[in-house]
Chains A and B, each alone.
Chain A
Amino acid sequence: MIKRLVAQDLHYALRSARGVLFLVFFSVFWFWVFSKFGQIDTQWLRNPESTVLLSWLFDPKTAQALFIDRHPAFSLFFLVAINTAPMFVLLAASDQTANDIGSKYLRFLLPRCQRTEIYLGRFLGCVLLVWAAYITVSLVAALWVVLFNGANLAEIMVEWFWVVISMMVYVLPFIAFMSLCSALVGSAGLSALLGMGAYLLVVIIIGIVGIRYDGAAELVGWILPNTIKPWILLMDLGQWLKSLLVAAVYVVIYGWLGWLMFSRRDI
């Protein structure tokens, strides 16, 4: 049943306003980013002076992992992808159940499937859509780097694999977060607004609290799944496994809260 629901969700995602809107924004953004890639001297990122700058921006280990151990152009893509992922995922995952609650379409589904199946099906449909989008864009980025930045294809494909599985893990908690938002309201727009609003609010709180109480800001920061980003950026198996574990915890917490709302609400 879940397989059918997922298939139908994906089928509809490519025809619905929300799916098309996400794909259009996503494509336009990446088209713009790739158009700028040619103008950047990515080899400069490998120079000692740039390494000092990047070590200040990240930390020496991350800077080395991204720009010295791996191809800097592809790492640059990875950095852009991981930093913009929350925005795109919050948009793509905003309408898991929200619109169908508002339009009461779920009343056609509920005599045929269980609430659990609907909730899980919509989550998984969203996960597959977002994964497909990132697999595609990172493949384009890999080929771009090979063609225009003279990277070695075999090396880039290994890095591509790392980037893909890292992005797959990183987006999961954000999708679960939107499952919760989507179950709370009755329209996709409101769900997106709620998700982005809550995200921004936490970021602002972290910023304000961080001015005086660094430890407290770090604690508040755990509300959002961004906390796993530094581990993912290290591109190290141990760190990746740690981020996978924590991402799973986020998914369980957000997903469970969303399920509580969805299972108890009138539809």
Chain B
Amino acid sequence: MSSAISVNNLSKQYGQQYALKDVTLEVKANITTGLIGPNGAGKTTLMSLICDFIHPTTGQVRVLGHPANDVALKGRVSILPQDARFLKSLSIKKQLAMLAELQGFAPAEAHQESLRVLDLVDLRPAQNKLPEHLSHGMLKRCAIAQALIGEPELIMLDEPTAGLDPSTTDSIKAVIKNLQNQATIIISSHNLSVIEDLCQEVIILHQGQLHAHHALDQIVVKQEALTVKLADHPTAEQVAAIGQIDWIKSVKTGKPGSCLMVIYYDPDATEDVEINLLMALKQQGMTYREFTKGERLQEYMTDHF
């Protein structure tokens, strides 16, 4: 599989502080990649470097085979920047049409394109509103809309669901899912369920450095594990008792108070794993709230950072 982005020994330094340090990675084309990490990990910096918003201190970036500032990339790469603001006193439809014109649309087509992308984010009713009259969530949707103008080959979304209500989050996820066959997508998000639902690969940054870059199922076990969210955090005795069950290979608990328990099992040793586990939990007087197949990215991140 060819790479959409190639990053080589990339560093960005602000004074003595490294925002990104010596990162080398390749993002595969035509898949959706998640970019995660704690606050200050360098996610936005990496996206900004890929888009040539900021210049690297050292290292190189190649996007779709070109240097990040190459004219050949204009209109082929789009981004939802985290903190960019629209112009004041100009309707969002007009602004989207202006951006579409800059991507090569004729004025009439640009108008239609702005309406199309507003439809994608359910914002057509607000088309004539000024940005200063829109809520944070609506502005976010509008910013997502501008990233969907035209047919970009690479779409980068920095925190696409931050500040959105659950229903809008779901509709944005649906929009992204629809784009997955048409473009390479990179999503940076603290909402790890979004990453799990949408991404095939995950890049984890920590303190400006590359921590991991793997397929999602290499980072978290998707098979032969069950994650249980309990009503109360399990005691050591309860964990030990569960761990002694013959078909269970090991048990891992989350941080105190997380009420999480991950069960790793041997699929050959038992059938109806879920039912057997529920019975075992009942025997130990443990009440469950959620049951998920596989490990969750959330726990991986909590364990490591």
Contacts and interface: CB of A to CB of B under 8 A. Distances in A.
Given A15-B89, A264-B55, A107 B84 contact: yes
Interface string B45-68: 000100111110000000000000
Contacts of A4: 101-102
Interface in B100-128: 101-103
A110 B53 contact: yes
Interface in A102-159: 103-115
Given A12-B90, A266-B54, A111 B84 contact: no
Contacts of B146: 108
B211 interface: no
Interface residues of A toward B: which range?
A: 20 to 34
A105 B77 CA distance: 16
Given A15-B89, A113-B102, A108 B81 contact: yes
B290 interface: no
A109 B85 CA distance: 12
Nearest to A113: B102
Contacts of A264: 55
Nearest to B156: A111
A109 B102 contact: yes
A110 B51 contact: yes
Nearest to A4: B101
Contacts of B99: 108-109, 112
Contacts of A15: 89-90
A206 interface: no
B75 interface: yes
Contacts of A12: 87, 90
Interface string A93-109: 00000000001111111
Given A16-B89, A266-B53, A114 B74 contact: yes
A110 B52 contact: yes
Contacts of A8: 98, 101-102
Nearest to B74: A112
A114 B71 contact: yes
B79 interface: yes
User: Which of A108, A109, A267 has most chain B Cβ within 10 Å?
Assistant: A108
B84 A108 contact: yes
A1 B102 contact: yes
Given A15-B90, A108-B146, A113 B74 contact: yes
Contacts of B79: 107, 111
User: Which of A107, A109, A113, A114 has most chain B Cβ within 10 Å?
Assistant: A107
B18 interface: no
12 contacts: A1-B102, A16-B88, A17-B89, A104-B84, A107-B53, A107-B79, A108-B81, A108-B99, A112-B74, A112-B103, A114-B71, A266-B55
Interface of B: 48, 51-55, 69, 71, 73-75, 77-79, 81, 83-90, 98-99, 101-103, 146
